[in-house]
Amino acid sequence: MCATTDACRAAGRRGVAKAMLRVCEEYAHEWGYSELYLHAATANESLLAMYAQWEYEQLPSFDQPEYILALSGREATRFHRLPLPRA
């Protein structure tokens, strides 16, 4: 499964992102997945802090090397993982 979610800045600090993420977690669990993975730009410190608060494990081993970022022009991202409860 692959999905993209995004909450607009105007909805910030109102629980919209957390509600959307909880729905994703519920669907992934219902569909039999054992883990949920997310990624965020490393420059987005508030989002990284939210993921940490929600107990998502950071996966720095998934980070792309600096030379790849330089060649591709992409921003650095950090992946996160949450084990889901067993059905």
Residue found under tokens 């957390």: 18
Residues whose CB falls within 8 Å of the CB of residue 58, separated by 6 or more in sequence, listed in order: 48, 51, 52, 78, 79, 80
pTM of the model: 0.77
State residue 4's pLDDT score: 65
Q: Name every residue whose Cβ is closer than 8 Å to that of residue 20 and which is 6 or more positions away in sequence.
A: 5, 7
Window from 13-22, 32-41, 48-57 with minimum mean pLDDT: 13-22
User: So what's the pLDDT on residue 2?
Assistant: 56
Break the chain into its structural domains and give their ranges: 35-87
Q: What is the pLDDT of residue 15?
A: 81
Per-residue pLDDT, 28: 92
**Closest Cα to residue 56, out of 23, 81, 29?**
81
DSSP string, 56-71: PEEEGGGPPPHHHHHH
